[in-house]
């Protein structure tokens, strides 16, 4: 045996190089992570914004605002959904306006027909009353001609019929006024 040789290497340089690489990997990893998060956030906003517009328009329509539109502007499937939704609202608003016009026209026709029927009822009541009164006057005349005008029972009967006729007319008039 001749001797021993001790070879010593310093690991300080290797350890510092490994530490520098680890630091660079951490910095790069963090930067890639932050850039990825920002990219996802921006892309999500770009994708979800048209959906949010359609959703907000649907909520406004649910609350009764038929003027609200989605107006997505994008050319993808979500944009097509927004355009379809807007077209549906346009047709729905037109149908709603048509229904309002039909309702207004119907109300006018009902009012005119009601007035016409009321006039007919009044004419018939007046005619019936006139006929009853003429009939009773004729009956009184006949009673007088026959000499029965002095019969109190016959006179009471004729007067009662006149009162009933007048009560009928009063009931019809109250009915007409109530309408």
* DSSP-assigned letters across all residues of 7-24: -----HHHHHHHHHHHHH
The predicted pLDDT at position 154 comes to 65
The predicted pLDDT at position 73 comes to 78
Q: Judge residue 2's burial from the number of C-beta atoms within 10 Å of its C-beta, 0-12 exposed, 13-18 middle, 19 or more buried.
A: exposed
CA distance 146 to 46: 107
Which SS3 state, helix, strand or coil, does residue 3 take?
A: coil
Q: Closest Cα partner for 46 from 35, 57, 38?
A: 38
The crossing angle, in degrees rounded to 10, of helices 77-146 and 12-62 is 20
Q: What is the pLDDT of residues 73-111, one digit of tens each?
A: 778 888 888 889 899 999 988 998 999 999 999 999 999
The predicted pLDDT at position 142 comes to 58
Could you give phi then psi for residue 64, rounded to 5 degrees? 105, 0
CA distance 179 to 176: 5
For residue 63, what is the DSSP state? T
Judged against a pLDDT cut of 80, whether residue 12 lies above it is answered with yes
- pTM for the model stands at 0.47
Of 59 and 135, the structure prediction assigns the larger pLDDT to 59
Judged against a pLDDT cut of 60, whether residue 63 lies above it is answered with yes
Per-residue pLDDT averaged across 119-142, rounded?
A: 77
């Amino acid at each position: 045996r001749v001797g021993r040789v001790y070879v010593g290497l310093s690991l300080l340089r290797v350890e510092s190089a490994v530490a520098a690489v680890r630091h660079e990997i951490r910095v790069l990893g963090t930067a890639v992570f932050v850039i990825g998060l920002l990219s996802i956030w921006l892309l999500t906003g770009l994708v979800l914004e048209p959906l949010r517009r359609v959703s907000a328009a649907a909520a406004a329509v649910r609350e009764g605002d038929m003027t609200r539109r989605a107006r997505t502007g994008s050319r993808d499937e979500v944009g097509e959904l927004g355009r379809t939704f807007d077209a549906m609202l346009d047709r729905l608003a037109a149908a709603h306006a048509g229904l309002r016009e039909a309702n207004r026209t119907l109300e006018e026709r009902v009012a005119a027909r009601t007035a016409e029927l009321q006039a007919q009822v009044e004419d018939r009541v007046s005619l019936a009353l006139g006929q009853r009164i003429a009939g009773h006057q004729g009956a009184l005349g006949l009673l007088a001609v026959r000499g029965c005008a002095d019969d109190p029972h016959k006179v009471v009967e004729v007067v009662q019929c006149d009162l009933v006729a007048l009560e009928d007319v009063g009931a019809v008039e109250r009915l007409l006024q109530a309408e």
